[in-house]
A = this chain, B = another copy of it.
């Protein structure tokens, strides 16, 4: 899996998928073409777009669904049913507050929030769980709406689904001291907990 994040393949993929004169679609008009992605093919808007363009060209598409972070988070013991809107925190987040607003919305309904954390393999940069917590604390300081604090229960995950996965559940300030290692990371801020969810999180605290 991690090899798929190498610079070459990501660059190739992006240009292939997003180009106007699309090599994948052009080839698919006369040949069988397979397109492999990480996670479920329809979690990314780019892939929905590719699918729509292919459909418009009358190309028959056969989809094989796959495991996705959207349901793999269930391994934390938090119920997949009780997640609200998923959001991403970009590396360049100076003036961006929308992830905080998503947390606010989900929390108002008692739902869990999954933050997907950005990575830029070209520059070998990625957002860590620690970066994500610092980001939320920074927006809280600005907005002061008591949505997130150092005492908020958080679940930090790294490389979920791999042999080297790490899952840690603790207060934000505790997770800030942890080293989660290599990407990809994600952060969960749980909403209202069912007793079985509480019990599960103890395994990771």
Q: Which residues of A contact B (CB under 8 A)?
A: 39-43, 45, 48-49, 51-52, 55, 63, 65-68, 70-75, 77, 79-88, 105-106, 108-109, 111, 161, 196, 199-200, 203
Q: Are B80 and A109 in contact (CB under 8 A)?
A: no
What are 11 A-B contacts with C-beta separation under 8 Å?
Answer: A40-B72, A40-B74, A52-B196, A63-B161, A65-B72, A66-B67, A68-B80, A84-B84, A84-B109, A84-B111, A108-B109
Which B residues touch A82, using CB under 8 A?
Answer: 85
Q: Are A43 and B87 in contact (CB under 8 A)?
A: no
Q: Are B43 and A80 in contact (CB under 8 A)?
A: yes
Q: Are A85 and B75 in contact (CB under 8 A)?
A: no
Q: Are B74 and A48 in contact (CB under 8 A)?
A: yes
Which B residues touch A108, using CB under 8 A?
Answer: 109
> Which of B45, B85, B200 contacts A196 (CB under 8 A)?
B45
**Residue of chain B at shortest CB distance from A80:** B43
